[in-house]
Structure 1
Amino acid sequence: MNDVVLDLPGVVSTAVQESATVVEHELMAKNTWRMRLSCPAIARQIVPGQFFMVRIPGRSDPLLGRPFALYDIYTDADGHPAGLDFGYVVVGKMTSVLESLSVGSRVEMWGPLGNGFPLPPSGHLVIAAGGIGQTPFLAVVREALKRRVYGDPARIVCTAPSRITLCYGVRGVEYLAGVEEFQAEGIDVRISTDDGSAGRRGFVTDVLKNVFAEKPAATALYCCGPEPMMQAVNRLAASVRIPTWLSLETPMACGFGACFSCVTKIRQDDGTWDYRRVCVEGPVFPGDKVVFHE
């Protein structure tokens, strides 16, 4: 399999374009799928929180690729990165086409793209996820616990967090995806559902308030999900002075900063704001820098 280095303004310098094969495709929850792609060149480099673009070859509708976050990498028999997994919800034309793909199908992809999450703190790491927003965090957890190493050169966690808590909110129990994988890593999973069919009835912020009241106190919060949910989580964390890192789910067209379709308002050091491209400067930003739409 050949890969092509992408030499484009703003793109990660080591990003490549790769033709990938679907090696697994399974239903995780209602309308929610996990796809595994054989793409060793991207898998060797990608770190938790980065993303990649996927396009269906030979199709003009949809014409453009779509961004997907790393769920996790997988390794070959010798322990070398062989490819990666990503999760998606069937909500539009591109994801409907993805749903129809079977093992052996081919896709075009380019990455890794974006900046990813910082290495986790040594204290109590809290993760807040809404909807499909849990997908970036399995790799975060495995890296934090020193169970998997990512990146080239490899990122090394010096001291694992003393505690990891995942607060995960969805509409109903049928939409919970990947919970068993997080629990298998030994982390504390707190669930909320809009209809009360699993965990606590209400929003993920309701669960988060209880976690913030517990000891040891949270030292950092990572978050991904719908914008209103991230805004509420960010406001709550700020009220108790917990630093946050938000992975924005802004729609993208190119993935490497040329089209400026994914800009978001980011607060500057002097208190003013300016636009930043989520695909290049993000998708992960400090929570206190993000200016949400009111």
Structure 2
Amino acid sequence: MSDTVQIAALADEQSVVAAESPRRRFLRRFRGRPAAIVAAVFLLLLVLFGLFASVIAPHDPLVQDLTARRLPPLSDGYLLGTDNLGRDTLSRLLYGARVAVFSAAISVTVGLVIGVVPALVAGFLGGWWDAVLSRIADAFLSFPPLLLAMAIVGVMGTNLTNAMIAIGIVFGPRFFRVVRGSVIGVRENTFIEASRSIGTPTARIVREHILPHTLSPLIVQISLACGFAMLAESSLSFLGLGVQPPDASWGRMLAEGREAWNYTMWPVAIPALAIIAAVLACNTLGDGIRDSVGRENRSNR
């Protein structure tokens, strides 16, 4: 009798889960991943700090005070100390967050524009379209990402805008591979064949049936790409190919902090910890989203 009750309870639970909307199912799974929630909150705060840096920052990040050079954290008037030129580290960190957020947003947008549309064409039409576009993507993927970005910046010029475009070009082939794979997995389904048989235009099939099925893996890839974009922007700025002095960015702060390394570690440690935390948060959020929308979860829960 107890087995019958358990089977009935399990059937009721499965029916409730099956009746859930995809959005509710995703939120239920995501709430069970505290690390991903913490990462999402951290990234939200990072975006807010970047947007309102001019309001939150206690000092002008460009103003130098040579009488207050290399102050340690918790100094009077300087919560995170000062750098080698006496500039407030906290203010420069906040303005660097703005650069990190905008560089991630713009570079990912460029990557989506470059990668998604060709991927939809290649995956849905197949044939020589797929062959040509896939070989182009493979050619770009054969280059190390940072080296390719450095080459593009070297050709276009050294500034933040060109650095973000270069990073976006690096993302394009990766978005292409993700979306193309999803489209190939969907295009032979019965509902696609039914839409074709009743004469639905190809553009409408792609927009209403194909594209929604690519969103889950694409969102995961976007979250991971944001972390790489922040890391790549910091690397380019560190090498002098991104943000130019005296503007603040985390990579620029690292490069300038080397000059004070023999005196104090804080001008290097603080921006380095910010980069590590931001990249780790993006990767953790991406893992949480992937586990919340993955096919294996849909079949197991």
The interval holding the TM-score normalised by the smaller chain is under 0.3
Structure with greater Cα Rg:
2
Greater per-residue helix proportion? 2
Greater per-residue strand proportion? 1
Q: TM-score, normalised by structure 2?
A: 0.21
- Could you say which structure has the greater relative contact order, defined with CA pairs below 8 angstroms and 6 or more residues apart? 2
